[in-house]
Amino acid sequence: MSETPNPYQLGDMTGEGPGVVGAYDRDGDGKVDLVAYDRDGDGRADKLVFDEDGDGVPDHIALDRNFDGTVDFIGVDRDQDGDLDVVKTDTNYDGTLDTVITSAED
């Protein structure tokens, strides 16, 4: 039995692995800073992992949790310890991120 990957894991910025449909260098510095995943195999990216500060470590994640084509979850790992410090969600799937949760450590 194979394990289902955790959709909330940031992973790495290599742009390789299961479900990767694109790896991009948005600022032209020669390093990948956005990795796109297709978790349900429909040909559309539904998980985006970002390295906003260019250090090679992912620090933001955006998910389309219900696969409707709209991002409904954004997570930020401010201290880059692998745990999300701030999470914004669209709890009723109306297209607005209406819930914000901040870790106690933040």
Query: pLDDT tens digits, residue range 29-81?
Result: 999 999 999 999 999 999 999 999 999 999 999 999 999 999 999 999 999 89
Give the count of beta carbons closer than 10 Å to the beta carbon of residue 37. Answer: 21
pLDDT tens track for 5-27: 788 889 889 999 889 999 999 99
Please give the model's pTM, rounded to 2 decimal places.
Answer: 0.88
**73's tokens:** 């979850």
pLDDT at residue 17, as a whole number: 87
